Amino acid sequence: MKQQTTTKQAPATTKEASAESGGDALKRMLAEYTPYGEATPIELSAASIQRFMAIPSKKGKLPTFEDCVRFAALCKARLLNPLSGDAYMVGFDTHTGTKFEIITAYQALSKRAEGSARYDGIEEGLIIMTDGVRANTTGAFYQESMGDLVGAWARVYRSDRKVPIYKEIIRSSYDKGLNWWKTDPALMACKIARAAALREAFPTTTGGMYVREEIGEGAQRNVTPKPKELPSGPDLGLPAPEAVADAKISHIESIRGMVPDEKWALDVAKEEGITQPGEDHESLYRMTLEQLEQLDEMCQAVHVAAKEAAK
């Protein structure tokens, strides 16, 4: 399918934006294009990116105009549709200021590989060490009795190359003991290996596209440390800010996988009293973790009921 790329007005540059008022710069269109595999063009402005495609930092900071330009440029170059969850930004408060990471859904990588006539399949597995002896297994199945899980591998086949693309990743570079790494490290490691292999196999269509497992948990954000002279206080059992962000993303991805569209989910949240009058109902990213947990649970119940009724 030939992708359309049209422009109604010249996208704003950071230099031009500096001469405009803050509000005008945010509203100005940054990109217009037709996402990969779709027929309807979309438009991205800094205002829409801030409102619908970015998770604020713990301090409530939103991406700057420059962050939004960078995000829009990547989305246009790779024909990503952030409105359907192909990509989004997550903010993290660091000792040098708030930083925003661009995260891509794994499905966006897979979709581009499968859309290539040269794609000939992918294999993956784990790297296990037992008494100093290395073994490569196939698939993501793992039990501790098998040995130490030290990494994962993936191999992508292309019909136009004699040698497949092979990538290995080291678990310790990504696993910091957070979230899914605690419960299913094998699956996490395989996801990262797959993403790395697909990027190398199809650099033109997937270059610069990093999945949540690589950035959201693997790279480990440089969160602002507490001053050493301050006491740590009692352990209240509260999740770390990066864990909250990852938990929100997990619920959003789960909800999007079960509902017709995001607006439907937001309407349900409003009708069921999950969100209250006066709150922002225009984006799942603006809901609290508790609200997303409730909505995810409700969507799962509706999804299960629909499947039972279809039998």
pLDDT bin (cut points 50, 70, 90) of residue 160 is very high
Contacts of 102 (CB under 8 A, 6+ apart): 70, 71, 74, 87, 88, 89, 210, 215
List the domain range (segments joined by +) for residue 187: 117-201
Contacts of 100 (CB under 8 A, 6+ apart): 54, 63, 67, 71, 89, 90, 91, 92
Would residue 249 count as lying in a domain? no
Model confidence pLDDT, tens digit, residues 64-92? 999 999 999 999 998 999 988 889 988 88
Model confidence pLDDT, tens digit, residues 257-297? 677 677 777 877 787 777 776 665 567 777 777 777 778 77
If asked whether residues 140 and 221 sit together in one domain, one would say: no
If asked whether residues 71 and 171 sit together in one domain, one would say: no
Instruction: Write the CA distances from 276 to 5, 73, 89, 122, 256, integer angstroms.
Output: 40, 35, 25, 46, 21
If asked whether residues 100 and 13 sit together in one domain, one would say: yes
Model confidence pLDDT, tens digit, residues 111-124? 899 999 999 999 99
CA-based radius of gyration for the chain = 21
pLDDT bin (cut points 50, 70, 90) of residue 235 is very low
CA triplet 56, 58, 63: central angle to 5 degrees?
A: 30
3-state secondary structure (DSSP) of residue 302: helix
3-state secondary structure (DSSP) of residue 119: strand
What's the order of all strands across the beta sheet hosting 87-94? 54-55, 87-94, 97-104
If asked whether residues 5 and 40 sit together in one domain, one would say: yes
Would residue 177 count as lying in a domain? yes
- Residue 30: closest CA among 63, 68, 62, 78: 68
If asked whether residues 94 and 209 sit together in one domain, one would say: yes
Please name every residue paired with 169 in a beta bridge, in sequence order, or none if there are none.
152
If asked whether residues 197 and 210 sit together in one domain, one would say: no
Q: Where are the alpha helices (DSSP H) in the chain?
A: 14-18, 22-27, 46-52, 65-78, 106-114, 180-183, 185-201, 203-206, 212, 241-256, 262-271, 289-310
Would residue 300 count as lying in a domain? yes
Would residue 139 count as lying in a domain? yes
Burial class (CB in 10 A: 0-12, 13-18, 19+), 8: exposed
If asked whether residues 76 and 221 sit together in one domain, one would say: yes
Model confidence pLDDT, tens digit, residues 47-70? 999 988 998 888 888 999 999 999
Beta-carbon count within 10 A of 294 CB: 18
DSSP state letters, 123-188: EEEEEEEETTEEEE-SSS---GGG-EEEEEEEEEEETT-SS-EEEEEEGGGT--S-THHHH-HHHH
Provide the pairing of β-strand 54-55 with 148-158: unpaired
Instruction: Write the CA distances from 60 to 26, 223, 242, integer angstroms.
Output: 18, 14, 13
If asked whether residues 108 and 48 sit together in one domain, one would say: yes
Would residue 5 count as lying in a domain? yes
Would residue 244 count as lying in a domain? no
* Overall domain count for the chain: 3
If asked whether residues 107 and 72 sit together in one domain, one would say: yes
Residue in the structure block whose two tokens are 């984006």? 283
Would residue 250 count as lying in a domain? no
Please name every residue paired with 148 in a beta bridge, in sequence order, or none if there are none.
129
- Residue 82: closest CA among 114, 55, 116, 115: 55
Would residue 296 count as lying in a domain? yes
If asked whether residues 77 and 218 sit together in one domain, one would say: yes
For a pLDDT cut of 90, what percent of the chain falls above it?
35
If asked whether residues 151 and 174 sit together in one domain, one would say: yes
- Residue 254: closest CA among 212, 225, 222, 226: 212
Q: Which of 178, 213, 228 is the last residue of a domain?
A: 228
Task: Say whether pTM exceeds 0.75.
Answer: no
pLDDT at 136: 95
If asked whether residues 49 and 108 sit together in one domain, one would say: yes
265 contacts 284 by C-beta, under 8 angstroms? yes
